[in-house]
Amino acid sequence: MQSKFFRWFAGMSCISVAAVAPSAFAQIKVGVTISTTGPAAAIGAPTRNAMLLWPKEVAGQKVEYIILDDASDTTNAVRNLRKLTAEEKVDIIVGPNTTPNALAMLDPLAESQTPMVALAASSSIVEPQDARRAWAFKMPQNDTHMTTILTQHMADNGIRTVAFIGFADAYGEGWWREFSKLAELRKLKIVANERFARTDTSVTGQVLKIMAAKPDAVLVAGSATPAVLPQKTLVERGYQGRIYQTHGIGTLEFLKVGGKDVEGTFFPTGPAVVAKQLPANNPVRKVALDFTQRYEAAYGEGTVTQFAADAWGAWMLIANAVPQALKTAKPGTVEFRTALRAALENTRELTVPQGVINMNARDHVGLDQRSRVMGRIQGNRFTYAYGG
């Protein structure tokens, strides 16, 4: 089992403190809480892998990374946040991976006045912008961006009736809210609405209700390996319609566990997941390919996931903001954290592996339609379908 706590330091040369200005040896501290164990471990593993590739210096400043495992648990996530802010005095937080954990962290985050770049998907982490969310930013695309292209694909391919089955938590509810709204606009009739827990071992009851409604397609709103269960059950019960998943499935473990039962699945995804197959004119192709080459050089061909790309994008976002924050304050101070928050909020035209970021005081994600394409599982691999 992986250690629930590890850290590494950017090595510093032996220098004379008296001969160097304070800013020359100020060290930035980045705290991380992610799920490397528990139900969301399949998300946390590639996230951690990408973080191990993060540069050890930004804007001439050494960086210390402190990574904690929240074990996919909200209580642990809050405990990690308090440790990182109160004891470690970090300048910024990256993570968590799951929406429930991110929502649980909002209040203590605001109290600590520490910016956070979340790696969870739901728009509820950053919307509506208020005192609780002022310090929260987010890398993954909002559900509405993904739902837009997904419902377009459904409508363009003759789908008229759809059943929904999603997590019984904030992730599932976020997707239901956005999907039900856009489905109505696309003239898609929702004939069933079911829920399941990430830790459930059976969804037979829910699937029987769905099949009784005879939908043209089923949308599973889950993430990582728990999202396999409804699809496997549908296949086992003989469902012949089309099955869609969300961008939360983008892990190699999903493909391994799902096997032939998830073959042919359509899903919206960030462009980095299918970087090699993107059209030549895709605006993020070059950055996505650069990351893909770096990641695959370390972990092997075909190993890039949505979550690894989000983690690399988080580093790019921080690296872009740090030089601005350094103009007004030194790391390790509330003034630096405040300046860093302001710099993040004013990010403009930053291309990351998953899109182009333009943030403002009302939008702490900043991604637009350049941040998603439709993918399909073919030959037990994530492949490009269309869009972008």
Provide mean pLDDT across the span 140-147. 91
- DSSP 8-state assignment for residue 382: E
Tell me the mean pLDDT in the region 320-335.
97
359 vs 26, which has greater pLDDT?
Answer: 359
Q: Which domains does the chain have, with CATH numbers?
A: 5-141+292-369 (3.40.50.2300), 149-269 (3.40.50.2300)
pLDDT at residue 26 in the model = 72
Question: What is this structure's pTM?
Answer: 0.86
Helix (H, G, I), strand (E, B) or coil at 363: strand
CB atoms within 10 A of CB 37: 19
Strand segments, DSSP code E, in the chain are: 5-9, 27-34, 57-58, 61-69, 92-94, 116-118, 136-138, 161-167, 189-196, 217-221, 242-245, 266-269, 350-352, 355-357, 373-378, 381-386
Tell me what pLDDT residue 121 has: 87
Distance between CA 297 and CA 21 in Å, rounded? 38
Q: For a pLDDT cut of 90, what percent of the chain falls above it?
A: 90
By residue count, the chain amounts to 388
Q: What pLDDT, in 10s, does the model give residues 56-97?
A: 999 999 999 999 999 999 999 999 999 999 999 999 999 999
Which residue is associated with the tokens 């439709």? 374
Percent of the chain with pLDDT over 70: 93
Residue 14 has a pLDDT of: 31
